[in-house]
Structure 1
Amino acid sequence: MPNTYFQFKQFRINQDQCAMKVCTDSCVFGAYVEASKAKQVLDMGTGTGLLALMVAQRSEAVVEAVEINPEAQAQAAQNFEESPWAERLKLHPMPLQEFARTCTQQYDVILSNPPFFLASLKSDDAAKNTAKHTGDLLFEDILTFAQERLASHGKLYLLLPPAEAQHFAELARSYRLYLNETLEVYTRTGGKCIRHIQTYTFAPTETAITNKLDIRQDDGTTYTAPFAELLRAYYLIF
């Protein structure tokens, strides 16, 4: 049974009511997003609020978050309220499509770990389906919102599996958003690439930069030095 909470150095993620628990690739994503100079940040589909809290820890930005699931809304609200940055965190308990109709803010950073399984079979767990499968938060919805509400200098960050990341990159070009950088995340040295962390801007580039991060060494157990350095501000074990 998953833990009811995940303790970080400066905050706790209560997760007993959420279908999707804290996972390593999400933590890598939250630590990777560059928001140190951002004033306004938006997390689409915040779930427990993990990414919003990770960004709030190392920035002075106002961090807003959108979430459609009622259980996740309650969990994120609790986690925000109990954090040291409650005054800079704002939850919008509604679908992104509804939020988009009234939003007038321009964001320096928009990030999302969206539902991503385009073709895989769904489970019997409705909450997990909403969290993991496209349907309630479509790639087109993310791109439409970003096209309108991302500041001209801003960055859009996505966490996706490799196949879905390629699909998103192709789709993004029609919204005038261009892939500038990819961090390929591997389970271990010599292991499988499980996620792409993508950075999009409005500035076209001939060749996007690609970097690589191995979570564990080839023994499958020991964390790599780059992973430890990336998560040092968050994980209790480092």
Structure 2
Amino acid sequence: MNTIFICLCGLNDFSLRGYCPMLAPFPFQVSQMSQQKAVLRSNGFTFKQFFVAHDRCAMKVGTDGVLLGAWAPVAGAQRVLDIGTGSGLIALMLAQRTGQDVEVDAVELDEQAVGQARENAAESPWADRIHVWQDDIVHWSKNAEQRYSLIVSNPPYFVPGTDCASPERASARYTTDLTHDVLLSCAEELITEEGYFCVVLPASAGDKLVELAQQRGWHLHCRTDISDTEMRPPNRVLLALSPKPGEPFVDRMTIRGPDHNYSEAHCSLTRDFYLFR
């Protein structure tokens, strides 16, 4: 096994900025990727077992997606669906976390993102299990031939009003085209009776989604509130909803500890993915 020197720079709380060559390097033992594949490239993000190019995607690799991909309950999952896959990040993470018999479908509307997600999947160890489809999820949900035991989405959440740099980024960020009510309706068409629908959202948007979901007959099974530090209120929430009744499990996780390093809980959740864990 070769030792590869990797430099890391500081990461924003909910945005992964990449790596900085100005910091002093330190060695990591990189497994399950060839040295050539492990070379840090400027057009994406390198994880322990796969690389995500995202230069042609409106939304880049970010902590929200990483948290959802690492957190979503995969035990017993037989078929997985990623709604609005973008670069394919969450689909790749769930493929890593599930067995060889689990198929992962990833649906994305934007043509450029679809092409990049397909390339990312093809370069991964799970190319035969990840299927990227270009389609509108409303159309997909009405024509899907089977249901999914796990559905995940890092959905748009901003109310229209602020300009975005591109129409593609606006579509990825704003709820104009895909409201949460429409998203829940699509999930209802696609979920198994005991399946889970998991999302990551800002805390206020998450509260509204839970209320809306419960009105539609969904049940909250898991909720993890995410805060930057212990002293700050949660600003993100991970939710697992199901058609199946059950008592909800609610907890909280901080990204950074009192020393401003990543917290033990955050490191434990993401250690199978980040190179520096």
**TM-score under structure 1 normalisation?**
0.93
Q: Which residue of 2 aligns with 1:86?
A: 127
Unaligned runs of 5+ in 1: none
Unaligned runs of 5+ in 2: 1-16, 19-41
Q: C-alpha offsets along residues 178-209 of structure 1, whole Å, 9 cap, x if unaligned?
A: 2222101111232242211001011335x633
Q: Is the 8 A contact 1:113 1:159 kept in 2?
A: yes
Paired with 2:81 and 2:69, the residues of 1 have a C-alpha distance of 13
Q: Which residue of 2 aligns with 1:54?
A: 93
Please point out which of 48, 61, 80 is paired with 1:22. 61
Please point out which of 126, 130, 134 is paired with 2:175. 134
Higher relative contact order (CA 8 A, sep 6+): 1
Task: After superposing the two structures, state which structure 1 stretch, 39-48 or 21-30, moved more.
Answer: 21-30
Letter in 1 for 2:137: L
Letter in 1 for 2:71: Y
Determine which structure has the larger helix proportion and give its number.
1
Q: Which residue of 1 aligns with 2:267?
A: 228
Paired with 1:213 and 1:167, the residues of 2 have a C-alpha distance of 20
Q: C-alpha offsets along residues 200-221 of structure 1, whole Å, 9 cap, x if unaligned?
A: 011335x63321111111343x
Please point out which of 210, 219, 223 is paired with 1:169. 210
1:160 aligns to 2:197 (yes or no): no
Please point out which of 2, 5, 11 is paired with 2:50. 11
Paired with 1:79 and 1:137, the residues of 2 have a C-alpha distance of 25
| Count of paired positions | 236
**TM-score under structure 2 normalisation?**
0.81
**How large is the RMSD of aligned CA atoms in angstroms?**
1.6
**Structure number with bigger Rg:** 2
Q: Is the 8 A contact 1:5 1:15 kept in 2?
A: yes
Q: Which residue of 1 aligns with 2:107?
A: 66
Q: Which residue of 2 aligns with 1:114?
A: 155
Give how far 1:37 is off.
2.2
Give how far 1:119 is off.
5.3
Letter in 2 for 1:26: G
Percent identity over the alignment? 32
Q: Is the 8 A contact 2:81 2:106 kept in 1?
A: yes
Q: C-alpha offsets along residues 89-108 of structure 1, whole Å, 9 cap, x if unaligned?
A: 11110110121221121100
Give how far 1:39 is off.
1.1
Q: Which residue of 2 aligns with 1:200?
A: 241
Where 2:145 maps in the other structure, the secondary structure is coil
